[in-house]
Amino acid sequence: MINTSERHFFFENEGESLLGVVHVPQRQRIGALVLLHGWAGYRIGAHRMLVKLARAAAQQGFVTMRFDFRGRGDSGGDAGATTLSTMISDTVQAASVLTDEYQVAKVGLVGDCSGSEVAIGAGPLIAAADSMVLWSAPTVGADRSAARQAKRADVLRQYIRKMFRAETWGKLLGGRLRLDMIRQAMKRGGAGAGEETAPIDRQVDWRGRFREFAGERLFIYGGSDPGATSAQQHYERLSAEAGRAFNCHVVAGANHAFYSLAWEREVIETTLDWLAQRYQWDEQSDDL
């Protein structure tokens, strides 16, 4: 076992204070990791998956940072003003803070859902970044109508199944069923409120950012994620256009958020196995 430590701290970006957590192993690899949560989440990730990844990564020698984007978690900023572009800016600053303080040569970005979009947008802007692991990455720089349709159909199937449950009727008769939330879920197909709609985000050349990144990427999808097939096809095409390998791992039977202990374990192990092959041990670090 490698001795590790965790430290909470604040750093500044564009006038806002952002909360970060850094996990530091006593013996280190040459690369560090920056973890990027999804649109509606914060630094712990869905079912604490980013916490689990960060601690496992530190055990394998990775200095690892996870943080709250502005307007999320314990970071400052207006939640309604958050955009993918502000999240990209926060990521660039977080990577700069990490590399400056810990003197690491390389940085790997790990993004979850919208955090994957952020990684794609931020990657070419971070000089030290040379790898990405993208969990359940939505399509960027392309028409999402097929993915939205698939997600709406999946949401509809879920609600139809719930109609046959006694607790659903109990909530309806008791006035506790949130019909407004059901309507929103059907309309958005699982997308977060405000996601993709900011004019500044539509100005980003997403396909150009994808091509500009010179490093490698690993995509991880759940086999039962309704948007996974169209996303994989999209990124396979983009990878071919960029002259890069399309590395993809599918977790059989898993949903979009990998909601099972076995699924999340497979995602974390696959992520770290791939990254460990890319980042060797730093011979100058202590081996105690």
Mean pLDDT of the chain: 88
Question: At 288, is the pLDDT very low, low, confident or very high (cuts 50, 70, 90)?
Answer: very low
Residues 264-279 have pLDDT tens digits of 999 999 999 999 999 9
Q: Global pTM?
A: 0.86
Question: At 284, is the pLDDT very low, low, confident or very high (cuts 50, 70, 90)?
Answer: confident
Which of residues 95 and 161 earns the better pLDDT score?
Answer: 95
Question: Tokens 């590790």 appear where?
Answer: 4
Closest CA to 107 of 275, 235, 247, 266: 275
Residue-level pLDDT at 142? 77
The mean pLDDT value for 92-116 works out to 97
Could you give the CA distance from residue 178 to residue 156 in angstroms, rounded to a whole number?
15
The mean pLDDT value for 5-14 works out to 98
Residue-level pLDDT at 127? 97
Sheet strands (E) in 113-226: 129-135, 216-222
DSSP 79: G
- The CATH architecture one would assign to domain 4-143+205-278 is 3-Layer(aba) Sandwich (3.40)
Residues 134-163 have pLDDT tens digits of 999 999 887 756 555 555 554 555 545 555
Contact 37, 91 (CB under 8 A): no
Report domain extents, the chain: 4-143+205-278, 145-195
Helix (H, G, I), strand (E, B) or coil at 202: helix
Residue-level pLDDT at 261? 97
Q: Over 60: is that where the pLDDT of 131 sits?
A: yes
